[in-house]
Amino acid sequence: MSDKAIEGQPFVRFDKVQKSYDGEILVVKNLNLDIPQGEFVTMLGPSGSGKTTCLMMLAGFEPATHGEIFLGGQPINNVPPHKRGIGMVFQNYALFPHMSVGENLAFPLEVRGMSKDECATKVQRALDMVELGAFSNRMPAQLSGGQQQRVAVARALVFEPELILMDEPLGALDKQLREQMQYEIKHIHENLGVTVVYVTHDQSEALTMSDRIAVFNDGVVQQLSSPSDLYERPDNSFVAQFIGENNRFDGKVTSVSRGNCKVKLDSGETVEAAAINVGGKGERTTLSLRPERIEINPKSKAGRNVIKGKIEEAIYLGDHIRTRMTAGGSSDFIVKVPNTAGHTPLEEGKTVNIAWLTEDCRALDPIV
């Protein structure tokens, strides 16, 4: 047990935290969030949703307008950033250009009064951790973007903090390098067991790396869940639309029974869905349905909703065929058809039956 962690208490806690920059508009609204020690939590959301502001308050760069932030069971609202013992990684790397890689890493150790020998040992260990052990004498300008980002991660790790904050750290990298770094950061976290709070607007990045994801919108956490729960079981329409690809239908509830509801779609068809977040009979609802859960021309219709759809476009993507259809009142209804040996050829312009299981379709709050 770390000397900073108190048994039975979350390692990081936001307690009724609010933030306003102008005294009127709240950019973070009554945030309550507990993070256990050793967890990788991602704050995910669109620009302006409040996620980066939360990270800056945790780091100490922004004061909370209301509420208290705790670290290891201790309140830290009045603790200056350099005394919080937190490692930080930024999108722009923030390396000192006039210092070598080794000097960049030694800097946070020197300001903590460590001896030269201890600094050298810790610097080498941190560089080895990010597979840059031979780069200590290089200058930042001599490194690629990916190498600079690894140095930034190593610098955050070098003084062995118990908490690391990462603010869009991979945003400046190209797609392939970004994906490679996602796995590297994930593996470093798994090997060290350090607590990580990560901010991104990239949903696939969040799904790849996180133990849990807090989805922010308009200053409020819409859902805090594991990646699989967020994708498979979204609590509301915002989360369903924001995480992964999603088909939505709008309609009116005609009955609710035993956890399911019947919905008359605006396009006229009646379907059945899991009643997750709906009002009573006559209320509006938005249905959420993932493209890979849909079958074209099913062999059996038992237990399934079946409606007609017209194939507008079929795009070959190797492991699946992405099919855009007109169905359920939408001209942008997507079905992902697995590229298996026996799949039916998809002809553009053809009308087909499309089907899905009731439990795969979630009736949620209506999108206004």
Q: Per-residue confidence of the chain (368 residues) as pLDDT tens digits?
A: 344 555 668 999 999 999 999 988 999 999 999 999 999 999 999 999 999 999 999 999 999 999 999 999 999 999 999 889 899 998 777 788 999 999 999 998 888 888 889 999 999 999 988 888 899 999 999 998 888 888 988 888 888 888 999 999 888 778 888 888 898 889 889 988 999 999 999 999 999 999 999 999 999 999 999 999 999 999 999 999 999 899 999 999 999 998 999 999 999 999 999 999 998 899 999 999 999 999 998 887 777 899 999 999 999 888 888 999 999 989 999 999 888 866 667 888 999 999 999 999 999 999 86
User: Which tokens is 213 given?
Assistant: 């994801």
Closest CA relative to residue 100, chosen from 52, 41, 147, 142: 142
pTM of the model: 0.88
Superfamily of chain region 12-237: P-loop containing nucleotide triphosphate hydrolases (3.40.50.300)
d(CA 99, CA 296): 60
The whole-number pLDDT of residue 111 equals: 83
Task: Judge whether 156 and 147 are in contact, CB under 8 Å.
Answer: no
Question: What pLDDT does 343 receive?
Answer: 66
Query: E-assigned strands of the chain?
Result: 12-20, 26-35, 40-44, 66-71, 74-75, 86-90, 163-167, 195-200, 212-217, 220-225, 247-257, 260-265, 270-275, 284-289, 295-296, 304-316, 320-327, 330-338, 351-357, 361-364
DSSP 240-267: HHHSS--EEEEEEEEEEETTEEEEEETT
Every domain of the chain and the residues it spans? 12-237, 245-364
Joined together, the tokens standing for residue 24 give: 């009127």
- Two tokens, residue 305: 């909703």
Between CA 307 and CA 272 the distance in angstroms is 12
What is the CATH class of 245-364? mainly beta
Q: Is 342 helix (H, G, I), strand (E, B) or coil?
A: coil
What separation, in Å, do the N-terminal and C-terminal C-alpha atoms of the chain show? 48
How far is the C-alpha of 251 from the C-alpha of 233, rounded, in Å?
Answer: 20
| Token code pair at residue 234 | 């979204």
pLDDT of residue 192: 87
Measured CA distances, 340 to 33, 314, 318, 346, 360 (Å): 44, 15, 10, 13, 22
Same fold flag, 12-237 and 245-364? no
C-alpha 207/C-alpha 189 separation (Å) is 15
Task: Tell me what pLDDT residue 8 has.
Answer: 64
Rounded Cα distance between 42 and 214, Å, is: 6
